[in-house]
């Protein structure tokens, strides 16, 4: 056994992992992983023995992240928009060409370009949110299934949001898309078991660029409403995603786990 730092920058105990790592020999694809939660998941997977393909729109940011993750031996970056069918085909093809297989898919990329309610939302914008946050995860899942994750008894994790668990009026369409993603997680889990498990995580506010406007300059005030009195980090979410992908979760499917410092209890 060896110890790895949990990486939260707080006083949590170090996690104990096996020497080879839970994901030794396995290959994962994480969408939207040049920074934030996706990057945290990719780094944790590599730390536990996996090789990982990461995606994102900005090729330069992606290349920098591949280098930080340990370079070409363990990471592959494929640039593109998560809702672009050609990009998806290319990414899945390149993972299999480079690493020979695909075991796991993490549908992480998501957008929220429309703060506010839905009564007056532009339908083009609403459609875009659904394309990126709901239909793209479905399409990536279909491709990963065709590429062989069934044969490897792999797993899919969808990154949702607490705004998909309980309604947040300011995040109307975004929350709607994440609620639908949790439903998709359930129906797909029924359809593709027992070979493949499909789960999700629903984060509360996590300190990334995406959520910065929700806590910048008032972090203590926002954290005060959380029973655990702090906001999340990408490592908090990565820990839960890795558990759901791992053999330790082999009897869990169709669930979206709230990883939120307890905020949805209120």
Ligand X SMILES: NC(=O)c1ccc[n+]([C@@H]2O[C@H](COP(=O)([O-])OP(=O)(O)OC[C@H]3O[C@@H](n4cnc5c(N)ncnc54)[C@H](OP(=O)(O)O)[C@@H]3O)[C@@H](O)[C@H]2O)c1
Q: Select from 208, 233, 253, 256 the one that contacts ligand X (CB under 6 A).
A: 208
Contact 114, 121 (CB under 8 A): yes
Q: Select from 15, 49, 57, 246 the one that contacts ligand X (CB under 6 A).
A: 57
51 φψ region: left (φ > 0), alpha (ψ -120 to 50), beta (else): beta
Cβ-based neighbour number of residue 120 at 10 Å: 7
DSSP calls for 79-96: ES-TT-HHHHHHHHHHHH
Q: Select from 7, 36, 154, 172 the one that contacts ligand X (CB under 6 A).
A: 36
**Position 26 contacts ligand X (CB under 6 A):** no
Tokens of 164: 């998909």
The closest of 28, 25, 91, 34 to 68, measured between CA atoms, is: 34
Cα 14 to Cα 8: distance, rounded to the nearest angstrom: 10
**Position 159 contacts ligand X (CB under 6 A):** yes
Of the candidate spans 5-13, 18-26, 191-199, 201-209, the one that interacts with ligand X by CB under 6 A turns out to be 201-209
Q: Select from 23, 28, 34, 242 the one that contacts ligand X (CB under 6 A).
A: 34
Contact 98, 71 (CB under 8 A): no
Residue in the block written with tokens 């370079």: 71
Nearest to ligand X of 153, 218 (CB atom): 218
To ligand X, the closest distance from the beta carbon of 98 in angstroms equals: 19
To ligand X, the closest distance from the beta carbon of 124 in angstroms equals: 15
Cα 62 to Cα 68: distance, rounded to the nearest angstrom: 10
**Position 128 contacts ligand X (CB under 6 A):** no
Nearest to ligand X of 35, 197 (CB atom): 35
The reply to whether 226 belongs to the active site is no
Cα 150 to Cα 134: distance, rounded to the nearest angstrom: 22
- Choosing from 39, 174, 215, 226, the catalytic residue is 174
Nearest to ligand X of 34, 141 (CB atom): 34
To ligand X, the closest distance from the beta carbon of 62 in angstroms equals: 7
- What residues are labeled active site? 174
The footprint of ligand X (CB under 6 A) covers: 32-38, 55-58, 61, 81-82, 108-111, 132, 159, 161, 203, 205-206, 208-211
């Amino acid at each position: 056994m060896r110890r790895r730092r949990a990486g939260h920058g707080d006083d949590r105990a170090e996690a104990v992992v096996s020497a080879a790592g839970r994901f030794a020999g396995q290959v994962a694809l994480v969408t939207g992983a040049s920074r934030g939660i996706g990057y945290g998941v990719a780094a944790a997977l590599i730390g536990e023995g996996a090789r990982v393909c990461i995606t994102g729109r900005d090729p330069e940011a992606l290349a920098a992240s591949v280098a930080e993750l340990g370079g070409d031996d363990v990471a592959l970056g494929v640039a593109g928009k998560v809702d672009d069918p050609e990009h998806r085909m290319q990414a899945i093809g390149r993972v299999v060409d480079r690493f020979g297989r695909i075991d796991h898919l993490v549908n992480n990329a998501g957008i929220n370009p429309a703060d506010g309610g839905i009564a007056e939302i532009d339908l083009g914008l609403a459609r875009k949110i659904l394309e990126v946050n709901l239909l793209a995860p479905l399409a990536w899942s279909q491709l990963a299934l065709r590429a062989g994750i069934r044969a490897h008894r792999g797993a899919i994790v969808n990154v949702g949001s607490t705004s998909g668990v309980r309604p947040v009026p300011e995040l109307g369409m975004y929350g709607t898309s994440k609620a639908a993603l949790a439903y998709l997680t359930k129906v797909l889990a029924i359809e593709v078991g027992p070979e493949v498990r499909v789960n999700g995580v629903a984060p509360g506010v996590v300190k990334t660029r995406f959520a910065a406007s929700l806590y910048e300059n008032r972090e203590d005030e926002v954290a005060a409403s959380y029973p655990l009195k702090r906001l999340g980090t990408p490592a908090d979410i990565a820990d839960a995603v890795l558990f759901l992908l791992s053999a330790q979760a082999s009897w869990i499917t169709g669930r979206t786990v709230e990883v939120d410092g307890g905020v949805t209890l209120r």
